[in-house]
Amino acid sequence: MNIGYYPGCALHGSSNDYEQSLRACLGALDVQLQEVKDWICCGATAAHSLNHKLSLALPARNLALAERDGHKELFAPCPLCSMQLLKVQKAIAGNGLRGELAQIVEADLRGDGRVLNLIQIFQNIGLDRLKAAVKTPLTEITAACYYGCLLTRPPDVAHFDDFEQPTSMEAVVAATGAKTVEWSYKTECCGAGMTMANEDTVLDLAYKILSNAAAHGANCLVVACPMCHVNLDMKQEAVNRRYGKKLGMVVYYLSDLVGLAMEISAEQLGIDRHFVTKA
């Protein structure tokens, strides 16, 4: 199966372990990622905070490029990229902005493709197929599935799962033979892009998430977002310093767990490149 792929800046930057994990895991499931040619940044938080029009135009350019490449489905593994793409589609459908946006981005724009997150990719592959591909069930893993914000919010744009009590990630993790826990912070914010400019916020929120997962019996967290991973994994040492703790919570990308269950090595998946590598 070939699918359009919009990596976004993070996956070609310091979150390239996420891309490595995706390619190793999805490749083994015969999903080939076809990168959108000459994609550009979606503008992220900076654009929607400072320039509304730009926050629609930048992702609109990427939607147009994906359409030009013939992709009917576009996989955006970063939930913020994904949300910005979906907002453009909503703006085209609701506000009649198609013509103006097409002019701004110098390309035809239909806005009729399907934008997918990582959980939806696994749903498309089929949970039965995932279960059949498992070689070693992950019986040692008890995971706290962490959705963060933008996989499900705002619900009138995301149209994905229950925005207060989502369960779709748990279903994928269960297919790997791992256990999951019920916990309180699965849709709380990790501080997102404030990692540099407002670190205190990120450390406080990350601490609440990591410690709540541990308190509910999880021995790791699972995410489907590069920023969540940065704040919970890379910043975990700083969280430990601030709170005088040794949390030691491994943070997996969802594709890591599916890959491990298919006996793809931690090195191939890039898990050895995370900051916290031992529980």
Binding another protein (rule: CB under 8 A), the pick from 2, 184, 198, 265 is 198
Binding another protein (rule: CB under 8 A), the pick from 3, 17, 31, 257 is 17
Answer yes or no whether residue 233 interacts with another protein by CB under 8 A. Answer: no
Binding another protein (rule: CB under 8 A), the pick from 28, 102, 104, 127 is 104
Phi, psi of 4 (to 5 degrees): -65, 145
Cα–Cα distance measured from residue 149 to residue 275, given in angstroms and rounded to the nearest whole number: 23
DSSP 162-186: -SSS--HHHHHHHHTT-EE---S-T
- 64-230-222-134 Cα dihedral, nearest 10 degrees: 70
Note if the bond before 154 is cis, omega within 30 degrees.
Answer: yes
β-pairing, 142-145 with 250-253? unpaired
- CA dist 38 → 4, 122, 252 (Å): 13, 26, 29
Select 128 or 156, whichever has its Cβ closest to another protein: 156
Answer yes or no whether residue 97 interacts with another protein by CB under 8 A. Answer: yes
Answer yes or no whether residue 49 interacts with another protein by CB under 8 A. Answer: yes
Q: Which two tokens stand for residue 99?
A: 């013509």
Answer yes or no whether residue 205 interacts with another protein by CB under 8 A. Answer: yes
Answer yes or no whether residue 9 interacts with another protein by CB under 8 A. Answer: yes
- Min dist CB 174 to another protein, Å, is 26
Tally the residues of the chain.
Answer: 279
Select 25 or 190, whichever has its Cβ closest to another protein: 190
- Min dist CB 273 to another protein, Å, is 4
Instruction: Tell me, rounded to whole angstroms, the distance of Cα 216 from its chain centroid.
Output: 23
Answer yes or no whether residue 139 interacts with another protein by CB under 8 A. Answer: no
- Min dist CB 267 to another protein, Å, is 12
113: Cα within 13 Å, side-chain hemisphere? 28
Binding another protein (rule: CB under 8 A), the pick from 197, 244, 246, 278 is 197
- Min dist CB 101 to another protein, Å, is 10
Burial of 35 (0-12, 13-18, 19+ CB in 10 A): middle
Site string for another protein, 149-188 (x = CB under 8 A): xx--xxx-------x-----------------------xx
Answer yes or no whether residue 50 interacts with another protein by CB under 8 A. Answer: yes
β-pairing, 2-5 with 73-75? parallel
Answer yes or no whether residue 278 interacts with another protein by CB under 8 A. Answer: no
Q: Which residues bind to another protein, rule: CB under 8 A?
A: 9-10, 12-17, 38-41, 43-58, 61, 91, 94-95, 97, 103-106, 149-150, 153-155, 163, 187-189, 191-194, 196-198, 201, 205, 234, 273-275
